[in-house]
Amino acid sequence: MASKHQTVKLEFTKREGTGKGTCRKLRCKDQLPVVLYGPEYKHGLAGTVSARAVTPVANSSHRETTLIELDFADGGSASALIRDVQRHPLTRRILHVDFYQVLKGHKIKVEVPIRVVNEELCKGIKDDGGVLVFGERFILVEVQPSDIPEEIVVDAQNLNVGDEIFVKDLALPEGVAAVTEADLLVLHVEQPKEEAEEAPAADAETAEVEVVAKGKAAKEE
């Protein structure tokens, strides 16, 4: 199961000036310095976008799967994904964003987050006290830009203790192919730790009894 990606429109204004001073002035005007890279922008196209408009996307857990339509002042446009976000080391305020152009008809590779639903109804957890353990929280997929899934949803309701879900078990939408290794573990339900530790404890107790018994026998001899 997968939910469809979002598309966000942003106005992209080309800029000539570079350097810290120029960028600082732009941020004071609620404009964020950005660079667009990609097949048609191999050397990078410097520009600005509204800081207020791009911040929710850049801060989202789905930022790498959110398709962004950049509209240019001359009437042109480019589809892109956020590839990198630079932040202030102390305030975490966004300082700069890198976009990567995606072309219609050309597949791209993108990491998609995995979201588990119905964990509270999971049989292995509710009935047997098991614990849900993640192996992977993201998988790499190859897909057309217009078909990027926002996330891959896994239903945990019918999982029992010992059950495992691998990449090959995920229900991917049509046109989406997993690049991540098929046999990679996504998640599983472990038995309760108390039960897992109970057996070694019992073995240790038995071993202690045997040592005492041997010591007693040796003393009697």
23-27, 56-60, 134-138: lowest mean pLDDT where? 23-27
Which listed CATH number (2.60.40.1120, 1.10.10.10, 3.40.1190.20, 2.170.120.20) goes with 108-190?
Answer: 2.170.120.20
User: Which residues, other chains included, contact 188 with Cβ-Cβ below 8 Å and sequence gap of 6+?
Assistant: 132, 133, 135, 162, 163, 164, 165
17-21, 185-189, 194-198: lowest mean pLDDT where? 194-198
Does residue 208 surpass a pLDDT of 80?
A: no
Interatomic CA distance for residues 17 and 73, integer angstroms: 17
Segments of the chain assigned to CATH 2.170.120.20: 108-190
Interatomic CA distance for residues 86 and 193, integer angstroms: 41
Interatomic CA distance for residues 26 and 49, integer angstroms: 10
Segments of the chain assigned to CATH 2.40.240.10: 2-101
How high is the pLDDT of residue 28? Answer: 84
How high is the pLDDT of residue 216? Answer: 47
| Angle subtended at Cα 4 by Cα 55 and Cα 83, rounded to the nearest 5 degrees | 40
The alpha carbon dihedral of 152, 155, 156, 160 has a sign of negative
Place of tokens 């408009």: 53
Residue 73 DSSP code: T
Instruction: Give mean pLDDT, residues 147-155.
Output: 92
How high is the pLDDT of residue 217? Answer: 47
Instruction: Give mean pLDDT, residues 138-146.
Output: 93
Confidence of residue 219 (pLDDT cuts 50, 70, 90): very low
Instruction: Give mean pLDDT, residues 33-54.
Output: 94
Interatomic CA distance for residues 169 and 159, integer angstroms: 13
Instruction: Output 170 or 194, whichever has higher pLDDT.
Output: 170
What's the token pair of residue 177?
A: 């192919």
Does residue 221 surpass a pLDDT of 50?
A: no
Say if domain 2-101 classifies as CATH 3.30.200.210. no
Residue type present at position 130: G
Instruction: Give mean pLDDT, residues 181-196.
Output: 85
Note whether 157 and 182 are within 8 A (CB).
no
β-bridge mates for residue 100, sequence order = 37, 81
Intra-chain end-to-end CA distance of the chain, in Å: 72
Place of tokens 């590839």: 83
Percent of the chain with pLDDT over 90: 65
* Rounded alpha-carbon distances, angstroms, from residue 149 to 7, 19, 89, 172: 11, 36, 31, 9
pLDDT in tens, 9-21: 999 999 876 667 7
Confidence of residue 57 (pLDDT cuts 50, 70, 90): very high
Place of tokens 């999971």: 122
Instruction: Give mean pLDDT, residues 34-55.
Output: 94
Confidence of residue 194 (pLDDT cuts 50, 70, 90): low
How high is the pLDDT of residue 134? Answer: 94
| Angle subtended at Cα 107 by Cα 106 and Cα 111, rounded to the nearest 5 degrees | 145
Does residue 5 surpass a pLDDT of 80?
A: no
β-bridge mates for residue 140, sequence order = 111
Does residue 118 surpass a pLDDT of 90?
A: yes
